[in-house]
Structure 1
Amino acid sequence: MTAVNSAPNFGGVDAINLTGTVAVVTGSGRGLGLAYGKALGKAGASVVVNDVDPAAVDEAVGAIRAAGGQAVGVAAAVGSSETAELLVDTAVRSFGRLDVMVTNAGILRDRVLWKMTDDDFDDVVRVHLRGTFTCARAAAIRMREQGEGGRLVLVGSPAGQRGNFGQTNYAAAKAGIAAMARTWALELARADIMVNAVVPVAATAMTRTIAAFAPAIEESERTGDPLPDWLRRDEGLGTADDAAGLIVFLASPVARGITGQAIGVGGDRLTLWAHPREKVVAFASGGWSAEAIAEQWAGGVGADPETYGIPAG
């Protein structure tokens, strides 16, 4: 991994202004989604807040308005085409257009493979993967009709990039989201619609369940002190607000032309994830028998196998 710009110079970039931009953020009643919605509103965007909890929607709308932004809310579960169309219609009816769709809504149903039920799997895939698909499709249809481009920002996870113990459903859905970002970047390029996956890491209800992180997160919340450097820099884990700047950036004109990427953010870290690619290639005239693969593997293609799972510490 190459480290760059550890002390970046921001002198050449004006403050990002999203006045006139209309964004939908799914799952924005709390956590990362709320941070995204507030940051977009603070930058001048009009925001459609979405969450399954009506009280959380109302509070989030109030928080954005209190900070000087414009916001309306939709309390509905993400996954169905009906909810996706309702979110887009609300944006158009309330603010006249749609420019940005941030697909953040998600749930967890963690179980190891042999204990995971059909419902555990289907519920997570419906919200994360199908919800991303239906919301992105509805947004793309509207953006293409407007003819002025747009942004799809799809929220992924390190679990989807590397796998994670107990998260068959979640990792599969997040891996699919990264694949959809690359596919839609191709399909929507002519319409000037940029599509990217973001891979955030933040202290939320989800990450508080990680035993190695929980004590530091709890201590930070108790005292109000920042998270320690080993978390912010080495693990790339900070607050939800730390991850919001990337969403504002990708929603802005400054990010035009950036598409098909998986971009990580958390704490003090900003990263670009590599796409899957062939790492080692070997050739055998006439093809590969099982015996030929066995003879070649350890000293050839398989000499440096890939790691898997999210590194801990």
Structure 2
Amino acid sequence: MILEGKVAIVTGSGRGLGLAYAQELARQGAAVVINDVDEAVADEAVASIVAAGGKAVAVAGAVGSTATAKELVSAAVGTFGRLDILVTNAGVLRDKSLLKMTDEDFDLVINVHLRGTFTCVREAFGYFNENGVAGRIIAIGSPTGQRGNFGQTNYAAAKAGIVGMVRTWALEMKRSNVTANVVIPVAATAMTETIPFFERAVQASARGEAMPDFFRKDLGFGTAADVAGLVAFLASSAAAKITGQAIGVGGDRLQLWSHPEAVATEYHDGGWSSEKLVSSFDRLFGDRLQSVGETFPELPAELRPEPAPAK
């Protein structure tokens, strides 16, 4: 077990992807602090780990506040004597197009995803730094944060912000031998269950069957368990030299995302006036403008959703 004797916190781990991460960390020997806003759900998650021979304790509460972050770290240290790993997975969605998105929709998503990651990492790193622990920070990103997605202004901002924070933390934490990385999962979740494009994959998973190869290989779309192995790996000593990275995983696919880099560079003596840009921009950069959003190949005919019955 690659995490024997380690202690981990996984926020938002009562169900779904977070639960899969917590269960895999426990399977690899770590004691786990489970977190969920629903106490009953958190207790069920703990029971599933204990029944499998692992160690876990529950902390109910919404992430975002410094108080919750302190409670999570205190639970780890008070119950299991230490803290080595933090996985910031907690999240919430309030999807709406820009003109329909309210202040409350925006603030809630930013508070849970972005501020929740910030406060929990700050508290965990404080413990690592004070106690000489070569800890592991694993934040959860999203393809939406990398590419954008219609109706997800708040979520895209939060997930892109998480990647930016992790790159900064990798620099700040290097001297303490603490690593910080982002995992970008692509998996069947409550969110993807409602998307017709993934219907056949989700149905197969629900029946306990393997997803068709088109989803697992062409799309890199799989189950929560397919993501959990990467989380456990990044939490282990085998990943001690990996930091500041954004790594995607889903189905049979593993991806290393690049940091933003300039794709084209041009110079003009005296700088770029608006007149010069009008006359030159399209010629210089028109064929190198970057795409936005995710694009998917066409579904094979046999995997397309069943047509709705006629009324």
TM class by shorter chain equals: over 0.9
Are residues 1:188 and 2:173 paired?
A: yes
Choose the corresponding residue for 2:92, options 107, 129, 136: 107
Are residues 1:24 and 2:40 paired?
A: no
- Match of 1:237, as an amino acid? F
Q: TM-score, normalised by structure 2?
A: 0.94
Choose the corresponding residue for 2:160, options 166, 175, 185: 175
Aligned pairs for 1:31-110 within 5 A: 31-110=16-95
Unaligned residue ranges in structure 2 (runs of 5+): 298-311
Aligned pairs for 1:1-313 within 5 A: 16-221=1-206, 223-313=207-297
Contact in 1 for aligned 2:10/2:88 (Cα 8 Å): yes
Q: 2: CA distance between counterparts of 1:211 and 1:292?
A: 47
What do the CA deviations read for 1:221-244 (whole angstroms, capped 9, x no partner)? 1x3221111111111110100000
CA drift of 1:206 comes to 1.4
Q: TM-score, normalised by structure 1?
A: 0.93
Q: 2: CA distance between counterparts of 1:24 and 1:302?
A: 47
Q: 1: CA distance between counterparts of 2:255 and 2:80?
A: 33
| Structure 1 segments of 4+ aligned residues over 6 angstroms from their partners | none
CA drift of 1:214 comes to 2.6
Alignment RMSD (CA, Å): 1.0
Q: 1: CA distance between counterparts of 2:265 and 2:286?
A: 10
Give the secondary-structure state (helix, strand or coil) at the position aligned to 2:284: coil
Q: 2: CA distance between counterparts of 1:130 and 1:204?
A: 23
Q: 2: CA distance between counterparts of 1:306 and 1:98?
A: 42
What do the CA deviations read for 1:69-88 (whole angstroms, capped 9, x no partner)? 11001011111000000000
Contact in 1 for aligned 2:184/2:248 (Cα 8 Å): yes
CA drift of 1:304 comes to 1.4
CA drift of 1:305 comes to 1.0
Corresponding residue pairs, total: 297
CA drift of 1:210 comes to 2.3
Q: 2: CA distance between counterparts of 1:227 and 1:17?
A: 28
Give the secondary-structure state (helix, strand or coil) at the position aligned to 1:277: coil
Give the secondary-structure state (helix, strand or coil) at the position aligned to 2:96: coil
- Match of 2:219, as an amino acid? E
Q: 2: CA distance between counterparts of 1:107 and 1:295?
A: 45
Give the secondary-structure state (helix, strand or coil) at the position aligned to 1:272: strand
Contact in 1 for aligned 2:186/2:220 (Cα 8 Å): yes
Contact in 1 for aligned 2:134/2:177 (Cα 8 Å): yes
Give the secondary-structure state (helix, strand or coil) at the position aligned to 1:254: helix
- Match of 1:199, as an amino acid? I
Q: 2: CA distance between counterparts of 1:187 and 1:90?
A: 25
What do the CA deviations read for 1:147-170 (whole angstroms, capped 9, x no partner)? 121010000000000000110000
Q: Which region of structure 1 is more displaced relative to structure 2, 290-299 or 143-152?
A: 290-299
Q: 2: CA distance between counterparts of 1:78 and 1:312?
A: 33
CA drift of 1:219 comes to 4.2
- Match of 1:38, as an amino acid? Q
CA drift of 1:52 comes to 0.4
Q: 2: CA distance between counterparts of 1:115 and 1:95?
A: 46
Q: What's 2:307 paired with?
A: none
Contact in 1 for aligned 2:204/2:210 (Cα 8 Å): no
CA drift of 1:215 comes to 3.9
What do the CA deviations read for 1:93-117 (whole angstroms, capped 9, x no partner)? 0111110000000000000001001
